[in-house]
Chain A
């Protein structure tokens, strides 16, 4: 699974990598450019069910850090 995210908070990159580990997925690629916003690209390997779970948690992180 790959995803490209626009984030507000660069710390979320670390949080997402930690979550991948927790769900027994491998983060095979991560790059992030941090300016006013953060553009991050990830690639993950893992069981299909774990990747779905990871994607849902990533969506939640992105939603919670969106500007009010």
Chain B
């Protein structure tokens, strides 16, 4: 077989069923091998969408997402998606074609030093210069993408290597890597953590994206055992069991007031698979100042990076939670129900800027959409105000039911991520909530929906603005609205229909629920265009670098 066929054999060995990609000169041998091959290739309309789709696939399934692109511009178009996967610890393998070896270093046509370019956006990358090493390199790439803290790995393969013949298709037997493999948490640290939990008066757990690595059930058991008030970062929405009254909601800049206030008043913080992003902590030296911090993470470099850990639990989050539960069960199990009830009262209804009864507000639309979604739906979002409004309201059944570009905040993510989610979960309804700015970064993917009849439903919150930036201009840049007005947006309904996608529209609260119900029930792909008030802001808001004491709930 040739190198390209060896690549596909390796993908099959890894259980890959779908590859998102875009062809081009250097990677043509791989596309030739894909022709009629059981590994399904999904043609996107821009390589950025291939990387985001692979991420959406991985985030909603826990399996490795795979994308491919040609050399030079194809490969560079993947970069944002790889960084997004790196920031949010998503297992993705990217395969790029490279110019043939004799051209490398000659500024050949579509030559780019992709390994140099992607060094900072991948866990690691590998250049394959010998066809006999394809099988082993790909096995290593998949193992690394899954191992420990998951993330993206790129494999760059020159065109002539893809064409060369090889007999080497097997790899030495090794136990398959598993998301969550890694160091074992220390017994002493577990005992120390439990002692601190037992003597705590106002403990709060903060769960992060680490919970996605198979730790959701144990997390729910742990917080239920203690009646512990808990909050989630945006990457862990869905970690709380439905109806858990001790769950305080999302934490951070646009998080819920109760969550932020409870954390600020806590005497013990249990930080579980989260990394104290600045959007969560605000000003680190004023964050939860009275609290002792018990920090659990698979990545030891997270300890003391931003917040000092009094106890560091280094290991897989599921194993750590199991150890904590077992250690607690050996002695007194404290209950924190009274404190949880008190913490809940620190909040209140979500503030909103709803203007008048006959004007459609984005928050109203999202309340209605979430009420109409099937219980098992997967939701992806793009980046901006709609992302925050959605995160404040969403109660996904599981973190794998929700995908958003959190750490990177990459506009253009939401729609292609939904495409990936739909391939990973073919029987589950998938909804992408997007803004009018971000949607225009990936509009051509409507053609992908159409071609493969992917039943993704797009909720377009059109406020005719780059809303989140507009909000900051209003609040922090003296209302100087530089380059954020999109009042000349195109007719999105007409665009969807031109691509052969069914389109629905609402522009007022009256009758909105009917339209939303028809949209949700549509059989194939569909767009719901929501013409919303242009200047609604996201509340509450803790301005960047501030604390919950500076929380704003409305315009001054």
Contacts and interface: CB of A to CB of B under 8 A. Distances in A.
Partners in one complex: yes
Interface of A: 9, 11, 15, 18, 52-53, 56-57, 59-60, 63-65, 68
Interface stretch (B299-307, B371-379, B516-524): B299-307
Contact of B300 (A11, A57, A59): A59
Contact of B123 (A52, A56, A59, A64): A64
Interface in B505-552: none
Nearest to B300: A59
Interface of B: 115, 119-120, 123-124, 139-140, 143-144, 147-148, 151, 174, 177, 299-301, 304-305
Contacts of B115: 11
Contacts of B124: 9, 64-65
Given A56-B301, A68-B140, 4 more contacts: A15-B120, A56-B305, A57-B301, A65-B124
B480 to A, nearest CB: 31
Contacts of A18: 120
A16 B120 CA distance: 10
Nearest to A63: B148
A28 to B, nearest CB: 23
17 contacts: A9-B124, A11-B115, A15-B119, A52-B304, A53-B305, A56-B301, A56-B305, A59-B300, A60-B299, A60-B301, A64-B123, A64-B124, A64-B151, A65-B124, A68-B140, A68-B144, A68-B147
A56 B139 CA distance: 27
B283 to A, nearest CB: 15
Contacts, number: 28
Given A53-B305, A60-B299, A68 B177 contact: yes
Contacts of A9: 124
B385 to A, nearest CB: 31
Residue among B143, B144, B301, B304 with the most chain A CB within 10 A? B301
Given A64-B144, A68-B140, A68-B147, A59 B301 contact: yes
B104 to A, nearest CB: 15
Nearest to A55: B301
